[in-house]
Amino acid sequence: MKKNFFLAALLMSLMFILAACSDSGSEEDTGSEDASTEEGTESEGTEESTEESTEEDTEDESAEGGSSAEVTGTVNEDDEQIAGEGSSTVFPILNLLVEDFNADHGVAVELGGNGTGSGFSALIEGSAQFANASRGIEQEEIDALEEAGIEWTEFLVATDGLTVAVNPANDFVEDLTFEELKMIYSGEATNWSDVREDFPEEPITAYGPDQSHGTHDFFNEEVMEEEGVQGQLIQDTNQVVSSVVGDENAIGFFGYSFYQENQDSLKAVSISGPDSEEAVEPSFENVMDFSYPLSRPLYVYADNAALEENETFHTFMEFTLKNSQSAAEEVGYVPLEDAALEEELAKLPNLEQ
């Protein structure tokens, strides 16, 4: 009897143990499945995240790149090194274009900004294929290029408004006439009271770019009537700006982009031209429609032989013109209208393919 009881108890114990093992195995299997499901979900999430990240990266890359207009020309590593020199006023536009072209095409176009006169000299000497100018080419330069056997093409790239500015502490000069500017830059007026009776009797310090700059030549021609510009004339236009910023009695003139870059430290003067009594401020709109009397075109002069024989230079000029509108806006100048741009592009020679 006791033996049968013992066997029954043992059998019951074994059944409980087997049942427990079975439940434990099921839980472990379920746990593994849950873990596997979670890992699978995480894996899918990671893949989705990676796909989203890739899409975002692609969008970012698309946003950053591809901003330059496409060109039909190509570059040739055997072509002669491209170099340009000229106007400090045109320099910001061309420098931006040169940097973009170099990055896009893997070449190294060299660019200087030592003044319009320096640019034409380099073109005449053959040390540059293009010259940037903030004035039109003069007869003396035309003759020198002809003597050197260099034919050239003039390309319009943007419009500028030569800006006259005073120190922000100057609370009396709001506008000036051409005649008053001529009094200041001829040395006839040495005090502000010499310009207008209601101006204070304070000395005038007149600054401007020197004779190496087209800005100087343009001012001399338009305002001074070729009688010469007097004052503290400086080769570096940035120093002209800083001189006006640092002198409460100063006045200076320079390209519109120099004013744009420093407008918090300068006060632009409205100008009335010889044919108008109304003073007009230098602004994007007024420069564009030439209602501002000191509006002027900006040029690039290119060596024709280089355009025809140097495929890389031809491609560079195509790139420069096609991207001139965005570059002009970015640095603060007035871009060409579409019709005018098409006229400039039509000047490029057709290269034999």
Residue 125 has what pLDDT? 97
Residue 16 has what pLDDT? 44
Q: What is the pLDDT of residues 53-73, one digit of tens each?
A: 444 443 343 333 345 777 766
Q: What is the pLDDT of residues 88-139, one digit of tens each?
A: 999 999 999 999 999 999 898 999 999 999 999 999 999 999 999 999 999 9
Q: Which of 72-76, 78-82, 229-233 has the lowest mean pLDDT?
A: 72-76
Residue 117 has what pLDDT? 94
Residue type, 108: A
The pTM of this model reads 0.71
Is the model's pLDDT at 26 over the cut of 90?
Answer: no
Is the model's pLDDT at 13 over the cut of 60?
Answer: no
Distances (CA, A) of 138 to 121, 142, 352: 12, 6, 33
The helix (H) or strand (E) run that includes residue 243 is helix 237-245
Q: Which residue's entry shows tokens 């304070």?
A: 202
| Mean pLDDT score across all residues of the chain | 84
Residue 8 has what pLDDT? 44
Q: What is the pLDDT of residues 184-203, one digit of tens each?
A: 999 999 999 999 999 999 99
Domain extent listing, the chain? 83-159+297-345, 163-293
Q: Do domains 83-159+297-345 and 163-293 have the same CATH topology?
A: yes
Cα–Cα distance for residue pair 189/137, rounded to 1 Å = 32
Query: What architecture is domain 163-293?
Result: 3-Layer(aba) Sandwich (3.40)
Cα–Cα distance for residue pair 22/188, rounded to 1 Å = 112
Residue 68 has what pLDDT? 73
Distances (CA, A) of 229 to 116, 159, 208: 17, 23, 9
Choices 3.40.190.10, 3.30.420.40, 3.20.20.70, 3.90.330.10: CATH for 83-159+297-345: 3.40.190.10
Residue type, 138: E
**60 is written with which tokens?**
């970012």
Q: What is the pLDDT of residues 133-174, one digit of tens each?
A: 999 999 999 999 999 999 999 999 999 999 999 999 999 999
Cα–Cα distance for residue pair 160/170, rounded to 1 Å = 25
Is residue 279 packed enough to be buried (19+ CB in 10 Å), middle (13-18) or exposed (0-12)? middle
Residue spans of beta strands (DSSP E) within 32-87: 83-86
- Sequence-distant (6+) residues with CB within 8 A of 302 are 129, 130, 152, 153, 155, 313, 317
